[in-house]
Amino acid sequence: MTDELIEDLRITTVTRTGRIRISVNGRKAYAYKGETVLAALLAAGYRVLRKDQNGQARGAFCGMGICYDCLVTINGIGNMRSCMVEVEEGMEIWTDEP
């Protein structure tokens, strides 16, 4: 994991507590307790989360676990719906886009 911090695109006027460290594609990022992995990925600027069988980019669509377009690898477990998993300290997340 590099020491390069991913840009934070969260709304700055919202007060958050419980900042935790995660890793996205080997890069350091931050999330907040209670956020989903998808929310953390979007705040870090990730829009493409996986590629379909035809190589087409896929990202968040429904955000509630119905569409399966937000599949990522979390702590070595593939095909996890990022919109349904809450972030945890030290979590390692991998998307299909570096």
Give the pLDDT confidence of 29-71 residue by residue, as tens digits: 999 998 999 999 998 889 999 999 999 999 989 988 999 999 9
Hey, which of 9-23, 48-62, 80-94 has the most confident mean pLDDT?
A: 80-94
What distance in Å separates the CA atoms of residue 57 and residue 69, rounded to the nearest whole number?
9
What is the C-alpha separation between 43 and 54, in angstroms, rounded? 27
Mean pLDDT across the stretch 82-91?
96
Is pTM beyond 0.75 here? yes
Q: Residue 66: give the domain boundaries.
A: 2-94
Q: Give the whole-number percent of the chain exceeding pLDDT 70.
A: 87
Contacts of 76 (CB under 8 A, 6+ apart): 92
Report the range of poorest mean pLDDT among 5-9, 31-35, 85-89: 5-9
- Give the total number of structural domains in the chain: 1
Which pLDDT does position 6 carry in this prediction?
58
Residue 37 CB partners (closer than 8 Å, separation 6+): 31, 72, 74, 80, 82, 83, 85, 86, 87, 91, 93
d(CA 32, CA 17): 7
CATH number where 40 lies: 3.10.20.440
Q: Please name the residues in contact with 13: beta carbons below 8 A apart, sequence gap of 6 or more.
A: none
Per-residue pLDDT at 94 exceeds 80: yes
